[in-house]
Structure 1
Amino acid sequence: KISDAFGMMKHVLANNTADKILCGGITALVMLLAQNKELGQRIRTFLQDRDLTHFINEARELVTTWPDRFVTPLDLAYEQDGKRMEADVSKIVESNELQTKLFPDLGSKSIELYKTEIAKAGSVFVNGPAGVYEDSRWEKATKEIWKAIAACNAYTVIGGGDTITAATKFTNLEDYSYVCTAGGAMVRFLSGKKLPLILAMEKAWERDKE
């Protein structure tokens, strides 16, 4: 969920758990708008219908506080006459026609940028697909980024239902260091929130030491 993502991002940036955050899916669109890169009224309506526009201000605060820590898309994919097309974000910002489109996937330049960042990483945590991977037109980013994560030398952690479904579709789960089926709980843990079971285990450990 995007709400979980924002809670986690602020926490891992504040305590320097994350060096870089690579943005995909709806989070990427929100982050671009927070950087004053206008994507058009159709995207804003899409966010409004899902009660997500309030995240733009929260995203603006994050990119203002940590401007060098976010990696956002260079280009995005859209549909034209039933086919996948791609456009640079700078072109979308300038084009009234492109601003009538939805953007269900990252573009090829973004994919290569993200793969480069992944190859340099010492550890990688991923939660959520990069696009609407269920449709073959919009699976490219998720497919290529997941393959890059599975093949990299970093310690890799994936979590959450959609994440694992996508990873299973495009890669071998044995290629990841750790696969967590409780994605929501993992995100909350990384957001600095206490989990009841962890608290109970800590208390039990303290009792056993007494």
Structure 2
Amino acid sequence: MNDGDVVLLENTRYRAEETKNGEAFSKDLALICDVFVNDAFGTAHRAHCSNVGVTQYVEASVVGYLMQKEIDFLGNAVNTPIRPFVAILGGSKVSSKISVIDNLLDKVDTLIIGGGMSYTFMKALGEEVGKSLLEEDYIDYANKMMEKAKSKGVTMLIPVDTVVAKEFSNDVPYHTVGRGGIAADEQGLDIGEETRKLYSDAIMSAKTVVWNGPMGVFEMPNFAKGTIAVAEALASIDATTIIGGGDSAAAVNQLGFGDKMTHISTGGGASLEFLEGKELPGVVAA
């Protein structure tokens, strides 16, 4: 190679050894460089040859500018936030955010719950959720988290009304019901108008906000209003607003609010594990 040349390699995931973090392939990767720069936050939660193994066999390894930005924003938001600190968790499942909820309850002032995971919390409160997404194995966990929030003095917000329909489709009739009003043949697909106002009001007073997971089925226009309301609230405040990758990043970009956010993480799984308080192998190795 000459000065200024760049070598583009094929995706290392095509190699079976990559995900096993084996010595041989790690050494092969190290042979082609003197300095290893890791700027792939999206894979930082994995210990693979191309982000962890290679660092053991090069003269120097460092994080890149993007990786440093992710560490700075997510790290500062969770560990040294400017208060009030509000976290918004949505998406489909409680099970995918167990450790995140538990960790954030030790740090936030307000925790907002939305999306499919909210129905498990509603069920834990003894409310009917019809055909809504429900993880019955996590009802006890939801109760424990609500008890923990109370003991920590954290405000935990759960939807007070829900947009429901009888089918999972944008083209079916829908209406809004209050807490406990979901019929047996209906399913919740978005937060209702009262909840949108409740959540927006909570966001307005925040100085640091971390958001991971949409409030409803934002891919369907009829059920995107909750996610839009949260995005609009975040876009309007003078605060540090951090979007935790994955569906949240897709939502704010798709809805046109991306340039209004302080930071949009490039790693869905990595940002979740960061919010859990875990050390990421790719960050530690670099």
TM > 0.5 fold call = yes
Q: Match for residue 186 of structure 1?
A: 271
- SS state at 2:188 partner: coil
- SS state at 2:175 partner: strand
Pairwise mapping of residues 10-49 of structure 1 onto structure 2 (< 5 A)?
10-14=102-106, 17-40=107-130, 42-43=131-132, 46-47=133-134
- Counterpart CA distance in 1 for 2:109 and 2:94 is 20
> Paired residue for 1:174, among 249, 256, 259?
259
Runs of 4+ in 1 over 4 A off after TM superposition: none
- Unaligned runs of 5+ residues in structure 2 are 1-92
Within the alignment, does 1:134 sit opposite 2:219 as a pair? Answer: yes
- SS state at 2:283 partner: helix
Within the alignment, does 1:196 sit opposite 2:196 as a pair? Answer: no
Within the alignment, does 1:57 sit opposite 2:140 as a pair? Answer: yes
Cα deviation for residue 4 of structure 1 reads: 3.4
Within the alignment, does 1:76 sit opposite 2:159 as a pair? Answer: no
Q: Which has the larger radius of gyration?
A: 2
- Counterpart CA distance in 1 for 2:224 and 2:186 is 18
Query: What's the CA shift string for 1:147-202, capped at 9, x where partnerless?
Result: 1112211210002221111101223312111110102111111111111122224x
- Unaligned runs of 5+ residues in structure 1 are 93-97, 202-210
Within the alignment, does 1:89 sit opposite 2:165 as a pair? Answer: no
Contact between 1:76 and 1:105, CA under 8 Å: does it hold in 2? yes
Within the alignment, does 1:144 sit opposite 2:236 as a pair? Answer: no
Contact between 1:4 and 1:188, CA under 8 Å: does it hold in 2? no
- Counterpart CA distance in 2 for 1:84 and 1:59 is 27
Identify, as 1 or 2, the structure richer in helix: 1
Q: Match for residue 157 of structure 1?
A: 242
Q: Match for residue 83 of structure 2?
A: none
- Counterpart CA distance in 2 for 1:6 and 1:34 is 15
Pairwise mapping of residues 90-129 of structure 1 onto structure 2 (< 5 A)?
90-92=180-182, 98-129=183-214
Cα deviation for residue 9 of structure 1 reads: 0.8
- SS state at 2:164 partner: strand
Tell me: CA distance 1:174–1:69, structure 2 relative to 1, closer, same or farther (3 Å): same
Query: What's the CA shift string for 1:21-62, capped at 9, x where partnerless?
Result: 11111121111112222223x23xx43xxxx32121111111
Contact between 2:242 and 2:261, CA under 8 Å: does it hold in 1? yes
> Paired residue for 1:6, among 79, 98, 117?
98
Contact between 1:146 and 1:171, CA under 8 Å: does it hold in 2? no
Cα deviation for residue 90 of structure 1 reads: 4.1
- Counterpart CA distance in 2 for 1:101 and 1:195 is 41
- SS state at 1:117 partner: helix
Q: Match for residue 208 of structure 1?
A: none
Query: Aligned-pair RMSD on alpha carbons?
Result: 1.8
- SS state at 1:99 partner: coil
- Counterpart CA distance in 1 for 2:254 and 2:202 is 23
- Counterpart CA distance in 2 for 1:39 and 1:2 is 15
Q: Match for residue 204 of structure 1?
A: none
Contact between 1:111 and 1:145, CA under 8 Å: does it hold in 2? yes
Query: Normalising to structure 1: TM-score of the pair?
Result: 0.82
Aligned-partner residue type, residue 170 of structure 1: L
- Counterpart CA distance in 1 for 2:222 and 2:179 is 19
Contact between 1:133 and 1:140, CA under 8 Å: does it hold in 2? yes
